[in-house]
Amino acid sequence: MAAVKVVYFTEVFSSWCYWGEPMWAELKARYSGRVDFEVRIAMMRPEDFPGSREQCDWAYRRSGGTVMRSPFMLSSGWVEPGRQGGYPAGDLVLQAAVGLGADPDKARLALMEAALRQGRKIGQIDEAVAAAARATGLDPKALKAGAESPGIRAEVDASSAEYFAHQLGQNQRPAFLLTDATGSKAVLAGLVQIAPLAAAIDAMLSDCAAYAAHAAHHPPPGK
């Protein structure tokens, strides 16, 4: 087990999580073998979703256009105006895919691309299963059965509750929980640039190395 661990709380339908994916990939590459990385789902509540495609497009113009200066615009085609109960299918399928052994990053990116770039209605279980199964090679029937099981729903509810317990302002995603062997903890939310996360990781790695060096040269005295 590495001295530092980073947990990434994500939501399939979050545009900010989508924009943060390149940064997540870079973090994993930069600290490979030195930091443990884990992804947990932080499912959005029904009231957190846009009620119309117009509302969704407005948010996408802000995140992708104004802030990220992206050369392309995300698609709001996944939005189903008037839908009740939110869009849990995408997150449930993702959790089920991971439970069946799929690469978490591959499954997550496939669902994000299907919804946010292609505008597919991933809020519908069959559409979400089709996107994830194609990317991961999983059996669609097994994937759907897993996504509809009480156990998978309990896992997603538990990780989402953990995320909400941090009370991150406007429930900003992506969110990152950093912990280390010395007991330090940092929570960063709403950031998609690598610099602040890398700085926190570097500080934690440095502290852990210092603690290890001190322990090697100065064993703790007996009681």
In this predicted model, what pLDDT tens digit does every residue of 29-79 receive, in sequence order? Answer: 999 999 999 999 999 999 999 999 999 999 999 988 888 899 999 999 999
- Cα 206 to chain centroid, rounded: 26
The tokens for 186 are 């940092």
Residue 215: its pLDDT value, please?
76
Sign of CA dihedral 207, 211, 213, 214: positive
Residue 188: its pLDDT value, please?
95
Question: From CA 108, how far away is CA 103, in angstroms rounded?
Answer: 9
Question: Which H or E run includes 172?
Answer: none
pLDDT one-digit tens code per residue, 73-100: 999 999 999 898 999 999 999 999 999 9
- Under DSSP, is residue 182 helix (H, G, I), strand (E, B) or coil? coil
Q: pLDDT-derived band of residue 221, with 50, 70 and 90 as boundaries? A: confident
pLDDT one-digit tens code per residue, 136-156: 999 999 999 999 999 999 999
- Under DSSP, is residue 43 helix (H, G, I), strand (E, B) or coil? coil
Question: From CA 99, how far away is CA 102, in angstroms rounded?
Answer: 7
pLDDT above 70 as % of the chain: 100
DSSP state of 72: S
Q: What is the mean pLDDT of the chain?
A: 94
Question: From CA 208, how far away is CA 160, in angstroms rounded?
Answer: 29
Residue 170: its pLDDT value, please?
72
Amino acid, res. 66: T
Residue 193: its pLDDT value, please?
93
Residues 6+ apart with CB under 8 A from 97: 107, 132, 136, 138, 143, 146
Residue 104: its pLDDT value, please?
94
CA distances, 33 to each of 3, 37, 42, 108, 205 (Å):
10, 10, 26, 22, 12
Length of the chain equals: 223
Residue 1: its pLDDT value, please?
82
Within 10 Å of residue 139's Cβ, how many Cβ atoms? 13
DSSP state of 116: I
Residue 64: its pLDDT value, please?
87
Between 85-99, 102-116, 147-161, 162-176, the lowest mean confidence (pLDDT) is in: 162-176
Q: What pTM value is reported for the model?
A: 0.92
